[in-house]
Amino acid sequence: MAETHSLQDLQQPAVSSKVFVQRDYSSGTLCKFQTKFPSDLESRLDKQQFEETIQTLNNLYAEAEKLCGKSYLEGFLACMTAYTIFLCMETHYEKVLKKIARYIKDQNEKIYAPRGLLLTDPIERGLRVVEITIFEDRSIGSGR
Amino acid sequence: MPGISGGVVGGGVGGPASAPPCPFRPSRYVPVSAATTFLVGSTTLFFCFTCPWLSESISSVIPLYNAVIFLFTLANFCMATFMDPGIFPRAEEDEDKEDDFRAPLYKTVEIRSIQVRMKWCSTCRFYRPPRCSHCSVCDNCVEDFDHHCPWVNNCIGRRNYRYFFLFLLSLTTHIMNVFGFGLVYVLHHRHQLNTPHAAVTMAVMCVAGLFFVPVAGLTGFHIVLVARGRTTNEQVTGKFRGGVNPFTKGCFRNISRVLCSPLAPRYVGRWRSRQAMEIQPPFLRPSLTEAQLEAKILDNGIQNDRHSTRSKSSLDQMESQSADAEPPPPPKPDLRFPGLSRTETEESSLLSGAPPTPSMYKYRPAYSSPGRNHTVPSHPNKMTRGESLNSPSPSILQSSRQPSYRSEPSSLDGATVVGGGVGVRRGGGERGEGPGGPGGTAGVASGGVSGYSLTGRSYTSYPSSLVLSTGGSRSSSMRSAQTVLNPLATLQSEGTTDTSYKSLANQTPRNGSLSYDSLLTPSESPEFESAAHELSPLKPHVPFHPMAMGHPEAVSPSSPLQGYTSPFLSAQIAQQREGQLLQGSTTFSSPHRAYLRVVSPLSPSSLGPPEVHHLLQHNQDLSPRSPSSLSSSPGARSPEPPVSPPPRGLSLSKSPSYSGEAGPQHKPRPAGGGGGGGGGAVLGGGGVPQPASRPVSANHSAPKPGGGVKKVTGVGGTTYEISV
């Protein structure tokens, strides 16, 4: 089937802008992001979806930083083995970070990419911001 | 050996995250090498000479116990030395792309009802999270920064504080063990002290005894810190001396958090998973009208308008908040710059929920943001300082500002610059006085800058520097002040890179004399040219316009005050000439119009209001002074804000609008009129850097070879000659 596609159709859309969701420090230095809906996303995303994503992320980070029995055991074992255990075992935080990365990927695939948005894992920014990239909408039907 | 590999600072080792490698400095490894040598060497001697007798005579558990303690000490020592303390990777440029000089130096957040300030880190390009600090040795921002320990040659931060603390505890224990068991040996062999074993044991005891005092002291200190939930940095700087520590959760919880919390992850050196996300339009939308879609997609300008209104509101918020330290600011200018698309920046989101922020701005030079016209709009609002100080005619400034922007949409590449100009103008309108000074001047400067140089991003720093330096208020911790310290450099080169700003930022804010050089960088833009026309009818006594920095042409030939008006100068002039409106001066004109020429650096104290009388002229006969002269003395411009006065900051008079629209609205002020002295520095620099990117068309270019040469003393102590 001879079908020509314009180059534009095949290219990744250009980045229109980026939105940064800042950390919420109201309860200390725990990793928590603001759930305030950025106005730039108003035209792209529902407020509920955004808040749900951020809230889930906050919960996951809280779980990562929680002082639970698992973290005590990990600390104790590390002391006992002169910290060599870190060579073979993944820390609790890292495990949760992997979970978060999977969650973000899942969210991107299901919710954000279809809307021309992309969530960036905050760990890449040092857990300071959640970066949401807004892509230009170059669809023909958009009437631009 | 830890000492050898101690060079590996716990920073990110190559990974995708950007923590730049530290330069190799051999002297950094001396303490850690010494510590390692003493620790390992003494313990080895102890095990070889003392322990055999101890295990035979008393118990074999003793060497075992000592070995365990020693291994624990060594393990903690290695972890403290090699572990990443929690280094933040550098922020990517797009993260603060919209943050330009308008942004404040500090942002305040409320943590459990206590206000905590987050400072802008110019090196890492983000607002430091609470408890984060930038280590100058490692050149990195570290999370929960405690201190930089030379004995381990590493920063102690969130990730490795526990190991450091345990190292101290175990080392104290180990020293006590060695000393104690050595004493037992010596007491049992006091009649055979001439044997090598006894001699070695005594030597080891001496070393142990010597190190015991400082180590135990440090250990005790850290025990107290852990119990109180403070870092060394906070304790030493007295952050919570009089107040409540928002980070403490009670003694027991503090201790358990230090010792038992999960190991925090590294931020640098992580493997980034490439997100292979297929993102193709058409995109789903949440019930948007077609018109809304179009508006959003189509035009940056539209978006910017929306942004500008948003940013304005955020600015309003900030502005009102920042007035807490200064007199009530004049009414906010109506920002309506088409290019401002700042609302959704990192900072604006921070601002939205934050309590009032002191009016310290980080006047960062604008980065090139193609397609964005940020010109400033929000910025002027932030110039509260300047505004507050000066009597105002903010409205005039605003109005002048706006037209200029509108008239020159294309030139808004340096949107930031423009914005700066606007801001500056506002500042200029008011008298730059005291505290407001810095703000004002910055504002003014920016205004001037904006006028002409959209292309010159660097100009944005100008305003800020002006503000800072003129304001002379050391307290104003403007980020820009820091950044601007290196002023001229930025201005001079078109499109200065981030590095120049970083260097500026790294300078102390007290350096009031931000280099005017930056201010002086002229840039060509049609605005200026048109402004120049406006300026022609300048009256001689028009106070010097800070804005004038920009434009030589603007300074209208007719008035003696032609030429640039550096923010400082204008501040001075403005002070003297009340009520003179700042006109948007196209500050920097084409390079070949260097307005000012630095004649000689004067001592900062020499600046004074009297200098105001000097006008900076950019015109005409001012051949493009080499930027070098301008940049010559960033140092000279040191911080003295002394120049007294207020004028500095805000008197940036706005030279007639760039676009000429401002002209009718404002009284054209000769650039740099009186106030010149202070601002001189600013203007001086001007002429330069921009290689006449745009041929001066309309203007005024006829630089009128002027009559005399006036000397203007810049705030920084640099004297500029301005040909009248």
Summarize pLDDT for B388-430 with one digit per residue, the tens.
444 444 444 444 444 443 444 444 443 333 333 343 344 333 4
- Helix, strand, or coil (residue B27): helix
In the structure, what pLDDT confidence band is assigned to residue B213 with cuts at 50, 70 and 90?
very high
Model pLDDT, residue B548:
41
Question: Which residue does chain B place closest to A40, by CA atoms?
Answer: B344
Place of tokens 């025990």: B223
Q: Which of the two residues, B86 and B460, has the higher pLDDT score?
A: B86
Does residue B44 carry a pLDDT above 80? yes
Q: Do β-strands A15-22 and A129-135 pair in parallel, antiparallel, or remain unpaired? A: antiparallel
Task: Show the DSSP H helices in B153-195 as ranges.
Answer: 161-188
Does residue B680 carry a pLDDT above 60? no
> Tokens standing for B724?
């009248």
CB B249 within 8 A of CB B164: no
Interface test with A, best of B277, B292, B303, B340 (most A CBs within 10 A): B277
Chain B CB contacts of A72 under 8 Å are: 260
CB B457 within 8 A of CB B416: yes
pLDDT in tens, B229-266: 999 999 998 888 777 888 888 899 999 999 888 899 99
DSSP state of B588: -
Q: Is A74 on the interface with B (CB under 8 A)?
A: yes
Model pLDDT, residue B21:
59
Nearest-Cα distance to chain A for B19, in Å, is 11
Query: Which of B465, B453, B467, B470 has the alpha carbon at shortest distance from B419?
Result: B453
- Helix, strand, or coil (residue B661): coil
CB count, 10 Å around CB of B695? 12
* pLDDT averaged over every residue in chain A: 85
d(CA A120, CA A104): 8
Model pLDDT, residue B240:
80
Q: What angle do CA B319, B322, B328 make, to 5 degrees?
A: 80
Query: Which of B433, B430, B459 has the alpha carbon at shortest distance from B445?
Result: B459
d(CA B81, CA A120): 31
Q: In chain A, which among 12-71 make CB contacts under 8 A with chain B? A: 12-13, 16-23, 25-29, 34, 36, 38-40, 43-46, 64-67, 71
Query: Which of B382, B400, B396 has the alpha carbon at shortest distance from B311?
Result: B382
Does residue A8 carry a pLDDT above 80? no
> Tokens standing for B383?
């110039």
Does residue A98 carry a pLDDT above 60? yes
Counting residues of chain B whose pLDDT is more than 70, the rounded percentage is 35
Query: Which of B71, B12, B67, B32 has the alpha carbon at shortest distance from A84?
Result: B71
Range in B217-231, B280-294, B682-696 with the lowest mean pLDDT: B682-696
Model pLDDT, residue B575:
54
d(CA A116, CA A126): 24
Q: What is the mean pLDDT of residues B557-586?
A: 48
Catalytic-labelled residue, pool B149, B155, B206, B260: B149
CB count, 10 Å around CB of B25? 9
Between helix B458-471 and helix B415-429 the angle, nearest 10°, is 20
Does residue B559 carry a pLDDT above 50? no
Q: What is the mean pLDDT of residues B355-375?
A: 47
Q: Do β-strands B147-149 and B154-156 pair in parallel, antiparallel, or remain unpaired? A: antiparallel
In the structure, what pLDDT confidence band is assigned to residue B577 with cuts at 50, 70 and 90?
low
Highest mean pLDDT among B226-235, B603-612, B667-676: B226-235
d(CA B85, CA B99): 28
> Tokens standing for B168?
């101290």
Return the H-helix or E-strand segment holding A132. strand A129-135
d(CA B63, CA B46): 10
pLDDT in tens, B101-154: 677 888 888 888 888 888 999 889 889 999 999 999 999 999 999 999 999 999
In the structure, what pLDDT confidence band is assigned to residue B715 with cuts at 50, 70 and 90?
low
Q: What is the mean pLDDT of residues B450-470?
A: 40
Q: Residue B282: is the preceding peptide bond cis (ω within 30°)?
A: yes
Contacts with B76 (C-beta within 8 Å, 6 or more apart), sequence order: B163, B164, B166, B167, B170
Separation in Å, CA B193 to CA B187, B199, B205, B653: 9, 6, 13, 85
d(CA B723, CA B204): 76
Model pLDDT, residue B94:
79
Model pLDDT, residue B26:
82
Query: What does B607-623 look like in DSSP terms, one character per residue?
Result: --GGGGB-----STT--
Q: What is the mean pLDDT of residues B358-377?
A: 46
Does residue B77 carry a pLDDT above 90? yes
Q: Which of the two residues, B547 and B133, has the higher pLDDT score?
A: B133
Return the H-helix or E-strand segment holding B52. helix B51-57
CB B84 within 8 A of CB B269: yes
In the structure, what pLDDT confidence band is assigned to residue B182 with cuts at 50, 70 and 90?
very high
* pLDDT averaged over every residue in chain B: 60
- Whether the full predicted model's pTM is greater than 0.90, yes or no, is no
> Tokens standing for B633?
């003395």
Model pLDDT, residue A42:
86
Q: Is A95 on the interface with B (CB under 8 A)?
A: no
CB B295 within 8 A of CB B358: no
In degrees and rounded to multiples of 5, residue B15 shows phi and psi of -30, 175
pLDDT in tens, A114-126: 888 899 999 988 8
A1 exposure class (CB count in 10 Å sphere: 0-12, 13-18, 19+)? exposed
Nearest-Cα distance to chain A for B568, in Å, is 36
Does residue B601 carry a pLDDT above 50? no
d(CA B424, CA B382): 10
CB B419 within 8 A of CB B312: no
Interface test with A, best of B77, B82, B273, B284 (most A CBs within 10 A): B284
Query: What does B220-231 look like in DSSP terms, one character per residue?
Result: HHHHHHHHHT--
Model pLDDT, residue B423:
37
Question: Residue B106 forms beta bridges with which residues?
Answer: B119
Does residue B325 carry a pLDDT above 50? no
Range in A127-141, B181-195, B228-242, B457-471 with the lowest mean pLDDT: B457-471
Q: Is B124 a catalytic residue?
A: no
Place of tokens 């409320």: B110
Q: What is the mean pLDDT of residues A51-56?
A: 92
Q: Is A92 on the interface with B (CB under 8 A)?
A: yes
d(CA B505, CA B479): 6
pLDDT in tens, B614-645: 444 444 444 444 444 433 444 444 434 444 44
